[in-house]
Chain A
């Protein structure tokens, strides 16, 4: 399974699924990270974590552990 965490910086991908059923996945989906949406990995913070992505025209920061719950497929 390819997840957002493993994508290189600058990569674009489509969200296939948001795995898990907890407060984090719910918040991610509320922020617009739902299956079918396109996103782009912008950068990672100084220590490699958290990640910054662009989705629906805005920028969102999340930790690698959270990005690992987002299954993606290459554009």
Chain B
């Protein structure tokens, strides 16, 4: 009882020390460092969550965007740091993930000591291939403890594994765990502690020329063998050893029998129905996102509206009130309204990934992707890019060929990400709502689908050109596991959704907040009364004669503000696209992040609205907005042109930063921003001018 109390106390204290430490990485205070390694889909994440609870943090490895997940727990009063390595099939340095894993195991990562113990997560239903990684781990001369997962599933397949015998043969501890139920975790911790203290290594006797001596590191051996026929012999030798162990520890059954997953696949990856089901699933996902998100979005919108009113009603008028009500609440609120849609999108993507369907989609589409010159594996990053290009671009690290990876990165931002949704929804809400084609198809839905399609088509063309010119390389290999279908783990999916949604909210609270304040200030200063003389003042004075009052004053204020001056500056460039200087202001701002367009328009048109009336919703404001000459600022054609621009332009600072980090090249980054924006301008120009020629707008 008393001991239990002390333990909890220590946990709390450790937690505090840690949080301090993350901000100021100093010398290590953890008693033990543990690495968690395993094949993809072996149940690593569930075990990591079970070991660490919520005492975990996600960061990046220095210089690369490979996620570095680590957590903390106590091993019998010893503070223990656990590093979750990326999912791996092997440790030879072909992909970035494998290279990172090797760096961790050899203690080459900054502020991270070489692990004392490796916990190898081994999927019992896939023992041989999982043990392959274990043999490689053992070659690093770090003690290994095996956490055997999915034993219950293996038993259902009448696969009987003699755990004790397995442990004896491999000469390392093997603990059977069911992490989701917490079964076996304590025993695993006990074994890890024992192993960490004993520091016992085993000799990798399976290696040809078994002992390489201490002077040569195994890393050097792995690397030197990469392009050497001997490497294949070494792989063969490891598998021979594994087969011997397997035959002794596992009761023989037919491992080539049809399983449940294969029966499901007889429909889901059917030659004909497979593709139809895939398209159906995608349609269903987008349809659901739009219909389910409506109600919470309206509620959020109303909530932010009344919050802004409340602030105006209860604070004394002045700069601060204006800043909070018009700058911060309107700007950040305008973006946060889209949180429900983003939550749903991430929810569906997580479920598709967690069930194992995502790799089936890659399997179905590889032939088509190859026609463009891309890898079937590029499908996953591209699909993730529909949520956000950042995780999408990070996911390209599974593509081994650098040129294929680069081509995928270059086209990922064409996928209509969730930040474009607010723009599409606003434009469609204002100009195309309630319209139907043939009485059933809503124009809005068709337009949104067309925008997604436009992005995809342009991406295909660009990839096609890139892969035949500057990024020419032989067709990439396609060797991919089709993992068994599993019911998604609710905790994993929710954790995933909330982490990503958290990033979105964080962005709204930081980048978008900052841009909102800057924009508000740019539109608020200089005050008209204080700065009477400017070249724009002259032109507006001629108009003032017709009308006076608050509205005119507000309009002059925006026109003469810094934002207005910037907008006027670029007006000649965007006029051929049908945009006036106010849209220009919003356009400039949206190069920081696309959804900023919505918040900027909120701020800009608020300055235009009659402040004595109830603040109209943004959709009405956009509909009613006027150009300086009194004509409507927006027509359906302008709205369409703007949407086309947003499909193609590279308007996202965070993506630019990630591309710079992932490609490690400014030239590629600048190339990407340049060609995408040029394409966007051209396409919008064509849309607007052809539209006008045909008599629209």
Interface-side segment among B209-217, B231-239, B451-459, B599-607: B231-239
Interface-side segment among B280-288, B294-302, B479-487: B479-487
Inside 8 A of B483's CB, which chain A residues have their CB? 58-59
A38 to B231, alpha carbons, bound, how many Å?
Answer: 22
Contact partner of B480 among A40, A57, A60, CB < 8 A? A60
| Pairwise interchain contact A39-B256, C-beta atoms closer than 8 A | yes
Contact partner of A32 among B94, B128, B231, B265, CB < 8 A? B128
Inside 8 A of A25's CB, which chain B residues have their CB? 232
Inside 8 A of B482's CB, which chain A residues have their CB? 52, 59-61
| Pairwise interchain contact A49-B94, C-beta atoms closer than 8 A | no
Q: Which residue of A lies closest to B133 (CB)?
A: A30
A11-37 CB mask vs B (1 if < 8 Å, else 0) is 010000010010111111111101111
A24-B479, A59-B262, A63-B477 as given contacts; A34 in contact with B368, CB under 8 Å: no
| Pairwise interchain contact B367-A47, C-beta atoms closer than 8 A | yes
**CB of A69 to closest CB in B, whole Å:** 10
19 more A-B contacts (CB under 8 A) besides A58-B129, A61-B479, A63-B477? A23-B94, A24-B479, A29-B232, A29-B239, A30-B89, A30-B92, A31-B129, A32-B129, A34-B239, A42-B265, A46-B272, A52-B269, A52-B363, A54-B262, A58-B481, A58-B483, A59-B484, A63-B475, A66-B477
Q: Tell me, yes or no, whether A6 is within 8 Å of chain B by CB.
A: no
Inside 8 A of A28's CB, which chain B residues have their CB? 479
Which residues in window 504-527 of B have CB below 8 A to A?
A: none
| Pairwise interchain contact B475-A45, C-beta atoms closer than 8 A | no
A44 to B90, alpha carbons, bound, how many Å?
Answer: 26
**CB of A54 to closest CB in B, whole Å:** 5
| Pairwise interchain contact A31-B481, C-beta atoms closer than 8 A | yes
Inside 8 A of A44's CB, which chain B residues have their CB? 271
A27 to B401, alpha carbons, bound, how many Å?
Answer: 13
Contact partner of B269 among A37, A45, A65, CB < 8 A? A45
| Pairwise interchain contact B239-A32, C-beta atoms closer than 8 A | yes
Q: Which residue of A lies closest to B225 (CB)?
A: A26
User: What is the number of residues of chain B that contact chain A, defined by CB distance less than 8 Å?
Assistant: 49
**CB of A31 to closest CB in B, whole Å:** 6
- Classify the secondary structure of B's interface with A: helix
B213-243 CB mask vs A (1 if < 8 Å, else 0) is 0000000000000110101100110010001
| Pairwise interchain contact A45-B366, C-beta atoms closer than 8 A | yes
10 contacts between A and B (CB under 8 A): A21-B229, A30-B89, A40-B256, A45-B367, A47-B368, A52-B363, A56-B126, A57-B256, A62-B479, A63-B366
B residues neighboring A (CB under 8 Å)? 89-90, 92, 94, 125-129, 132, 159, 226-227, 229, 231-232, 235-236, 239, 243, 255-256, 261-262, 265, 269, 271-272, 274-275, 359, 362-364, 366-368, 370, 376, 400, 475, 477-484
Q: Which residue of A lies closest to B237 (CB)?
A: A34
| Pairwise interchain contact B366-A50, C-beta atoms closer than 8 A | yes
Contact partner of A66 among B90, B269, B479, CB < 8 A? B479
A26-B92, A27-B477 as given contacts; A57 in contact with B231, CB under 8 Å: no
| Pairwise interchain contact A29-B364, C-beta atoms closer than 8 A | no
| Pairwise interchain contact B269-A30, C-beta atoms closer than 8 A | no
Listed from nearest, the 8 A-B pairs whose CB atoms lie closest are A47-B367, A57-B255, A24-B477, A59-B482, A29-B235, A30-B90, A40-B256, A56-B128
Contact partner of A56 among B129, B262, B359, B400, CB < 8 A? B129
A40 to B275, alpha carbons, bound, how many Å?
Answer: 24
**CB of A49 to closest CB in B, whole Å:** 5
| Pairwise interchain contact B481-A59, C-beta atoms closer than 8 A | yes
Inside 8 A of A60's CB, which chain B residues have their CB? 479-482
Q: Which residue of A lies closest to B234 (CB)?
A: A29
Inside 8 A of A31's CB, which chain B residues have their CB? 89, 129, 479, 481
Inside 8 A of A26's CB, which chain B residues have their CB? 92, 94, 226, 231-232, 235
Counting chain A CB atoms within 10 Å of each CB, the highest count among B90, B243, B359, B479 belongs to B479
| Pairwise interchain contact B481-A27, C-beta atoms closer than 8 A | no
A24 to B479, alpha carbons, bound, how many Å?
Answer: 8
Inside 8 A of A37's CB, which chain B residues have their CB? 239
Contact partner of B478 among A18, A50, A57, A59, CB < 8 A? A50
Q: Which residue of A lies closest to B480 (CB)?
A: A61
A39 to B482, alpha carbons, bound, how many Å?
Answer: 15
A58 to B484, alpha carbons, bound, how many Å?
Answer: 8
| Pairwise interchain contact A57-B126, C-beta atoms closer than 8 A | yes
Contact partner of A50 among B92, B229, B262, B363, CB < 8 A? B363
